[in-house]
Structures are given as structure tokens and as C-alpha cells.
């Protein structure tokens, strides 16, 4: 049977690499990893992991929301700049 701790270890490495490359998907992977750690905490009766990782999920969700909002604004600015450049060329 596949062990959750190995999966959590793998997801931690993947999330760290993705966030290091400034990819918002790293935050999603990190949230999934935090859920897995909560399950591990339940199965091993280490209940301290649960509130800590629920807090991490909330922080990741907040950061993801902010990250996507900034990305959306930058796309809008890029589109406006492209329109201005095209208008100047005509």
C-alpha cells in the first residue's frame, strides 16, 4: 500500500519547486499536501498537525487569491499596453 508520508514528502518538494519558479500552482499543491498531513495526523493521533495545517491551507488560499488578482491585473495592463502600441503603429 502506498504510504501517505512518502506522498506528502514528494508534494512538499514539488510545491517548493513550483513556488520557487513563481508558479501559483505550487500553492495548490501545497494545499493538497496540507490536507494529506491532516489525514496523517488523524491516523497517527497527532492532533497538533491538524490546526497547524488548516492554518497553512487558509494562508495558501489567501496568497493564491492575491497572486491570481495581481496576475489578472498584469494581464489587463499588458493588453492595454498592446492596444496602445497597435494604435500608435497605425
Over residues 7-22, the pLDDT tens digits come to: 999 999 999 999 999 8
Q: What is the DSSP string of 39-90?
A: HHHHHTT-TTHHHHHHHHHHHHHHHHHHHHHHHHHHHHHHHHHHHHHHHHH-
Over residues 21-80, the pLDDT tens digits come to: 989 899 999 999 999 999 999 999 999 999 999 999 999 999 988 888 877 766 666 666
Amino acid at each position: 500500500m502506498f504510504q501517505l508520508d512518502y506522498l506528502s514528502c514528494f508534494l512538499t518538494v514539488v510545491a517548493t519547486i513550483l513556488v520557487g519558479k513563481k508558479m501559483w500552482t505550487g500553492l495548490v499543491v501545497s494545499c493538497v499536501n496540507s490536507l494529506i498531513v491532516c489525514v496523517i495526523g488523524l491516523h497517527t493521533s497527532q492532533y497538533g498537525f491538524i490546526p497547524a495545517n488548516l492554518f497553512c491551507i487558509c494562508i495558501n488560499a489567501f496568497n493564491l487569491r492575491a497572486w491570481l488578482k495581481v496576475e489578472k491585473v498584469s494581464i489587463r495592463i499588458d493588453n492595454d499596453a498592446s492596444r496602445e502600441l497597435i494604435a500608435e503603429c497605425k
